[in-house]
């Protein structure tokens, strides 16, 4: 594949979120933290959520990884804000990739990292707050 083909494989939105990622950084006393990694490529992602009245009020991330991992981290933090925890659990890696205008097939696994980080953060939130994984009783 020529260099120009590789560039054209990424949507403008992917490039924009890679260059100007939203919600990067630490969160003080988050309600849930998700740490995930891909053993094959070695990329790692941390996602933090703040939950108020079962709604994700804020989300931040730190990603040591490829451009697609950074763009999908950025997008997933944007997608979850304002959603209930149960709604956020329904966000799939495909939804994240679609919100970015698509990813090349070889980079779809990067969006899986974003979905896994979100699930891990929600799981952590529910464990800390004593809620079940099914979200019964609150979220
Ligand atoms: Fe590892 Fe993208 S290459 S997450």
Residue 105, domain CATH: 3.90.1010.10
Taking residues 75-86, report their average pLDDT.
98
Across the chain, what does the average pLDDT equal? 93
DSSP conformation letters of 26-41: --SS-SEEEEEE-TTT
* Residue 37 CA, ligand 1 centroid: distance in Å: 9
In a domain, 133, yes or no: no
The residue whose CA has the least distance to atom 4 of ligand 1 is: 110
Quote the CA–CA distance of 23 and 56 in Å, as a whole number: 14
* Residue 136 CA, ligand 1 centroid: distance in Å: 34
Quote the CA–CA distance of 133 and 120 in Å, as a whole number: 11
Cα-based distances in Å from 38 to 15, 31, 42, 99, 102: 22, 24, 5, 22, 20
Does position 76 have pLDDT exceeding 90, yes or no? yes
Band the pLDDT of 2: cuts 50, 70, 90: low
Structurally, how many domains does the chain consist of?
Answer: 1
pLDDT at 135: 46
Which segments within 19-123 are labelled E, that is strand? 32-37, 44-52, 55-64
């Amino acid at each position: 594949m020529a260099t120009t083909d590789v560039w054209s494989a990424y949507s403008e939105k992917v490039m924009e979120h890679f260059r100007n990622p939203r919600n990067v950084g630490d969160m003080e006393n988050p309600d849930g933290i998700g740490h995930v990694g891909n053993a094959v490529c070695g990329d790692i992602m941390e996602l933090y959520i703040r939950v108020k009245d079962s709604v994700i009020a804020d989300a931040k991330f730190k990603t040591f990884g490829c451009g697609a991992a950074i763009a999908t981290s950025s997008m997933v933090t944007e997608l979850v804000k304002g959603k209930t925890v149960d709604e956020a659990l329904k966000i799939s890696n495909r939804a994240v990739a679609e919100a970015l205008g698509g990813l090349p097939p070889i980079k779809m696994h990067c969006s899986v990292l974003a979905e896994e980080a979100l699930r891990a953060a929600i799981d952590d939130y529910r464990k800390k707050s004593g809620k079940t994984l099914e979200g019964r009783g609150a979220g």
